[in-house]
Amino acid sequence: MKVALACPYAWDAPGGVQTHVRQLAACLRARGHQTLILAPGWAQPSDPDVVIVGRPFRIPFNGSVAPVCPDPRSRARIRRAMAQFGPDVVHAHEPFSPSTGFFATIEATAPVVAVSHTYFERSVLFDLFSRAFARVWKRPAVWVGVSQASAKFLRRHVGPDADVRVIPNGVDVEAFRNAKPLALPPGRRMLFVGRLEPRKGLQVAIAAFARLAPQHPDLYLLVAGEGPERSALDGTPAEVRSRVIELGTVPH
C-alpha cells in the first residue's frame, strides 16, 4: 500500500509530531508499504521519501511556537507530489493547523485519515478558522485522537457523527533496548521530558517538586529538554535547587 503522511511542522525542527511521523513511516516501510512524507522545512533532507513543500514560519499559538507553512503555494506542491506518488491513503496530521496537513486534506483524492495531537479549551481565532472551513472537516474518512483529550477536542469541532477513534502514538522500544543507564544519585526521581515552554507544564513539575522535595530528602527532579522557559528552574526553592538535574537536549 502507498501511504502519504502530511506533517504540519518543520521537518528539520525538533518536535513530537515530527518524531511520530518519522517513526510511523519507518514502521510502515518495514512492513512492506511505500511512504511519502510531505512537510515544510528549511532544507531538503537526504531522505528521498521526504518532500519539502515550503518554508516554515514560526507562529505563536497555544503556549508554544509552531513552525508551520501557511503559504498557499505549498498546496500546489502537495498536489503535484501526491499525484506523482498516487497514495492509497493520506495520513494527515493536524489538519486544523493552516499547514501541510490542512492542504493535504483538501487535495487528497484517496481516503484521508486525519490525526489530531492537540487539545485546548477555547480560541476565538481557531473557532473562526474551524467554522470557515467546516466543509473540509467532512473529507476525512476517519479521525484519530492520540488521547481521550484530543478525541474530545475533535468531537467538539467535527461533530458527533464523525468517526473519531483514540489511537495513542506508538513507541519504538528497540531504540532504547541497549541504552546505558545514566549515572544518577541514589533515590527517587521525578522526570520531566519536553520543550521548556508554558504548554508543556514545566512550571507544574517545578511546583510539584518544590512541594514534595522537603518531605522526601532522596527525591530528585530530572529535566530533559531545552526551551525559552529554562529560567523557570531558577525559581526552585534554594533549599532543594541542588536536587534539580538539568539534562538538556537528550537524543534517542
DSSP class of residue 180? Answer: P
Is 16 in contact with 105 (CB distance < 8 Å)? no
Average pLDDT, the chain: 90
CA atoms within 13 A on the CB side of 156: 17
**Cα gap 180→192, rounded to integer Å:** 19
Residue 111 has pLDDT above 80, yes or no: yes
- Residues 5-57 have pLDDT tens digits of 999 999 999 888 999 999 999 999 999 999 999 999 999 899 999 999 999 99
Question: Domain residue spans in the chain?
Answer: 2-166, 180-248
Sign of CA dihedral 50, 56, 62, 64: positive
- Residues 162-174 have pLDDT tens digits of 889 999 998 888 8
Does 2-166 match 180-248 in CATH topology?
Answer: yes
In this structure, which topology does domain 180-248 adopt according to CATH? Rossmann fold (3.40.50)
> CATH for 2-166?
3.40.50.2000
Residue 126 has pLDDT above 70, yes or no: no
